[in-house]
Each structure stands twice: as C-alpha cells, then as structure tokens.
Amino acid sequence: MAESNILLESGTNEVEIVEFYLDEQRTAGEYRGYYGINVAKVLEILQMPELTDMPEVSHPAVLGAFNLRQEIIPLIDLAGWLGKKRNEKEPPKVIVTEFNRTKSAFLVSGVTRIHRINWNEVEAPTGYVSSLTVNSITGVVKFAKRIVFILDMEKICMDLNPEPPLIQEPTEEIRRSIKQRQIKALVADDSTMARKMITGILEKAGFVVHAVENGEQARQYMIQCNRKAQERNLPLQQYVDVIVSDIEMPIMDGHTLTRSLKEDPDFRPIPVVLCSSIITETLHHKGIAVGADEQVSKAELGDLVPKIYALLEQAVRA
C-alpha cells in the first residue's frame, strides 16, 4: 500500500492518507471517530492475527506480538492508548506501519479509504485542541460529512519506547572550522514532541534555534530574514545558517518548502536538512529531487548535528 505514495511527484504539496475509524463506547452511547495516517507509513492492512503475549510490556495498550513473514510485530490497541474504550461490534482491522526504521501495528475498528489531498487542506490543530488531545494530533482535515484527525504516530511509539537518541560528537576538524561561530538554525516540525527534541539536540550543541510548526511558517520566516539582511546589507547567514525540516506538515510540507527555497537564488545557499520518520531508501529520492542537502531519519537523530557541521564545513571550503 505504501508504494502508491511514490506516484506523487516531489514538492507538489500533496499527500495520500489512509482514513480509519475507532468505534467508542461512551456513557451517552456509541461514537465513531475518524483518523488518518500517511500512506507512506503503511505497509499493509490485516485481519486480527493470532497474538503471543509479550513479557513485561511497558504500556497496557500493547496487546502482544505476532509473526508477519518472519518478523515479530508488536500490536498496539490505538483506542486504549488514546484512553478510549473501543466498541467491539465488528471484527477489528490491523494497520501495519513502518516509520523511524521500526515496524509496528495498530488495532483499529475499521478502515474506510485512501484520500489524496493537498497539505494546505490539512489544518494545524489549535492550541486548545492540542491540549485536550495531549498533543497527539498534528493535523485536522475537514471533509463534507466528517472531520479526520491526523495522529502523531511517532509520539505514540516514542511514548511506548522512550529511548533518547545517541548524539555523535563532531570531529576536531569540524569543530575548528566553525569554532568562532554561533550557528543559527531554523527548525520546522508540526509535532510538538519532535520539535522540542530536535531543538534540544541543537541547543545542546550550541546552536541558536528558531522553531516553527510548518513549512509555510518557515518560508515566511526566511522571507523576513532575507528582507532584514538586504536592508542592512548583510549576508542571509547572519540570520539563518541551516534549515532542519520535517516532511509531513500541515499547510506546506517539507518537500514543497525545500523546492521553494532552492528555486530562489537568495535562499539557495542555505543548507536544508530534511529530518523525518518517513525517510527510507525507497523515498530518499524525493528529497534529492527537491534539492535537499541532507536527509536524516528521526530514528537516527544522533547523526543530525555532525551532518550539519559537515554541510557548514563544505560551505566554508567552497
């Protein structure tokens, strides 16, 4: 199923989402909530498999594991993780996913269809909605008869397995090349958790970070910085040295942001690092197509700082 997303041209700001639903049992009666996940994260959809208990599971929402083509896949009750009671009035479905170089499966009530939409149709959740959902929603899509919530699947998996990334130290050569500079980074990520994590990693390395929630906000920030630089006759690097961007974001995704910046001669010299859970060997070519200078999987955040140093060192030597 994930391969259908490859047909989308890079940088068109389009995305395909799998719409699924959870039937909940509430005091006032039954309720069906609709959710979405990027097709690029979905491997397949199954009937309920035979499960094996896992010893000492970290969360009650982890129901067990099953064998899928010689791989052991943990199954997470999505309703349970969201603190909801699933109404078992029909056989559930299992969505098998792969992101952050990890395969997981999620138990849901049912799957409806795949939607191809533009990211500008995906609204960022308000602060109030985010607080009510414990920052587990990254986007909202309004269809004619229902609202579909885009879940922060990375947050779910990281809450279940909260291992901090291993940070690689830069080489002495790289340290010497930038030792007198305070690197200024622009970070764009719609996930509150990921944005804080990436910002923390960069600040620990001594960077000054400006963080935004989507590609359009990042583009507007770059326009503002460029205007200031031109007014003061300064290079743009006085305001931004590097951009670190997620790919999946409401309003404008990271591929579209990268293409927009690389097509503008004013912004082209600023390195862009795509940092996403869906960067894989299969989808790596999309980042190359839009002109990304580097790509880092969120499963390998320890590589982020050294790769930024290497890009800035190349710029110094050029």
Domain with 263 in it: 172-317
CA atoms of 263 and 301, how far apart (whole Å): 27
CA atoms of 43 and 77, how far apart (whole Å): 18
Max CA separation in the chain (angstroms): 67
**Contacts by 127-134, CB closer than 8 A, 24 or more apart:** 130/192
118 and 52 together in one domain: yes
pLDDT of residue 132: 66
E strand map for the chain = 14-26, 29-38, 42-47, 62-68, 71-77, 93-99, 102-108, 110-118, 122-123, 137-142, 147-151, 184-188, 208-212, 242-245, 272-276, 294-297
234 and 145 together in one domain: no
199 and 55 together in one domain: no
Is 165 within the bounds of a domain?
no
Q: What are the average pLDDT values for consecutive 10-residue runs of the chain, which has 318 residues?
A: 49 91 85 93 94 83 92 92 86 93 93 94 83 79 92 79 59 58 91 91 92 97 98 95 96 96 96 92 86 93 90 78
In this structure, what token pair is assigned to residue 108? 């849901």
291 and 311 together in one domain: yes
Distances in Å between the alpha carbon of 268 and those of 191, 234, 260, 263?
A: 26, 16, 9, 7
Last residue of a domain, one of 117, 140, 160: 160
pLDDT of residue 3: 41
70 and 187 together in one domain: no
Crossing angle of helices 192-204/153-160, nearest 10°? 70
Is 152 within the bounds of a domain?
yes
In this structure, what token pair is assigned to residue 42? 């979905």
Is 70 within the bounds of a domain?
yes
User: Structure pTM?
Assistant: 0.85
256 and 109 together in one domain: no
pLDDT of residue 178: 56
Total of domains in the chain: 2
134 and 27 together in one domain: yes
* Cβ atoms 240, 225 nearer than 8 A: yes
Is 302 within the bounds of a domain?
yes
Last residue of a domain, one of 138, 160, 182: 160
CATH number at residue 269: 3.40.50.2300
* Cβ atoms 247, 255 nearer than 8 A: yes
CATH number at residue 31: 2.40.50.180
- For residue 166, how many other CB atoms are within 10 A of its CB? 9
78 and 139 together in one domain: yes
pLDDT of residue 317: 67
CA atoms of 66 and 49, how far apart (whole Å): 7
> Is residue 287 classed exposed, middle or buried when 0-12, 13-18 and 19+ CB atoms within 10 A define those classes?
buried
Is 80 within the bounds of a domain?
yes
15 and 60 together in one domain: yes
295 and 213 together in one domain: yes
265 and 136 together in one domain: no
CA atoms of 10 and 291, how far apart (whole Å): 10
pLDDT of residue 58: 72
122 and 97 together in one domain: yes
